[in-house]
Structures are given as C-alpha cells and as structure tokens.
Amino acid sequence: MAGARAAVRYAKAVLSLASDQNTADAVNNDMKLIVNTIAENKDLSNMLQSPIVRSSVKKEVLLEVFKNTNSVTSNLIDTLIANKRISLIGETASKYNQLYDELKGTQVAKVTTAVPITDDLKVKVLAKVKELTGKEVEVENIVDESILGGFVLRVGDIQYNASIANKLNKLKREFTLN
C-alpha cells in the first residue's frame, strides 16, 4: 500500500517535470517500454525486487537496458536508486502512463477476444468507443480462449460482455430457474 502511494507520487513528479520540459510524450514512451520490459523479463523483475543485489548493480543494469531513454527517465532511475525505492520502477512507470492518459484525455479500451483482433475490427472498435465515450481511445487486445467467441469490451469502469461464454451462462441460468 505504501509502495503504491509512493509510486503515484513519483509518477506525478516525473509527469510534472516532463510536462515542464515538453518531453511528456517521449517519457510516456519510455515508461511504456519499462513496463513492458519488466513484465516480459522475469529475471529483470526478480533482480529489481531482490534485496541481495546491490543498488549500484541494479542502476548499471537499468541504465544499460534503457540506455536510449530521455534524461527525465534516467533521472527517475537515479532518484529511485538514491531513495532505495528502485523496486517501484515498474509500478511508477505504469502509474505515469495512467496519469499521462488522463492528462491527454485518452482512455484504454481493453478488448478480450478468443483470437487476436484484426486491424479492420480494431478500427471499428475505436470508432464505437469514441462514439460512446467522446474520448480518444487506445485499444489493448487480450486473448482469452475461454470466452469461446465474441468479445468483452472494458473502458474505464464500463464493461460490455458480448462473449459466447456469457450467452451460454445466461441460457444455463434460465434453464435452471425454470
């Protein structure tokens, strides 16, 4: 809990600094890279969480992995190392992305489908979500074969479930009630 609050504070500070320096877009791309890299690389994630690995080693690794990032991003790494909070870098980067999207009025629409969505379908989803919310939207596709077919659309706190699995469950409930 305390870590989550600290991550939000660091993210707000970095966003403020990046906005002042007109580098918020570049830093947002860096933060997306950090989130994705840590999520995809278990060894990196474990190293960042490990109390055994020295801070100097963590800093060297991070600056090598993320060597082509903006100076604001590098300064965040330095600050987190100095404050012994480097384990929060992934969460801070994720919070930064959320704050950046809120600042720009962009929302992330999570579309869960049984198979990856096509570019044509992605364009239709973007148009429909923009019509419903009036905001710019990015589509994130999550593949979950358990929904069998159809899709589940989630934008913010709104969810629309048009999956085959959901329809089958409704039918099952109707038959068991009668």
25-58: pLDDT as tens digits:
999 999 999 999 999 999 988 998 988 989 889 9
118 and 51, same structural domain? Answer: no
Please give the mean pLDDT across all residues of the chain.
86
Structural domain boundaries, residue 111: 106-177
User: Facing residues of 153 across strands?
Assistant: 111, 160
116 and 168, same structural domain? Answer: yes
159/166 Cα distance (integer angstroms)? 13
76-95: pLDDT as tens digits:
999 999 998 988 999 999 99
Residue 135: per-residue pLDDT: 74
97 and 46, same structural domain? Answer: yes
93 and 171, same structural domain? Answer: no
* Residue 140 pLDDT greater than 90, yes or no: no
* Residue 1 pLDDT greater than 60, yes or no: no
Q: How many domains does the chain have?
A: 2
CB-based contacts of 15, cutoff 8 Å, min separation 6: 24, 27, 96, 99, 100, 103
113/75 Cα distance (integer angstroms)? 39
Query: Tell me, what CATH number does 135's domain have?
Result: 3.40.30
138 and 70, same structural domain? Answer: no
Q: Is the pTM of this model over 0.85?
A: no
Q: Which of 69, 102, 135 is the last residue of a domain?
A: 102
Cα–Cα–Cα angle for 22, 26, 31, rounded to 5 degrees: 125
144/103 Cα distance (integer angstroms)? 31
Residue 89: per-residue pLDDT: 92
Q: Which of 49, 67, 102 is the last residue of a domain?
A: 102
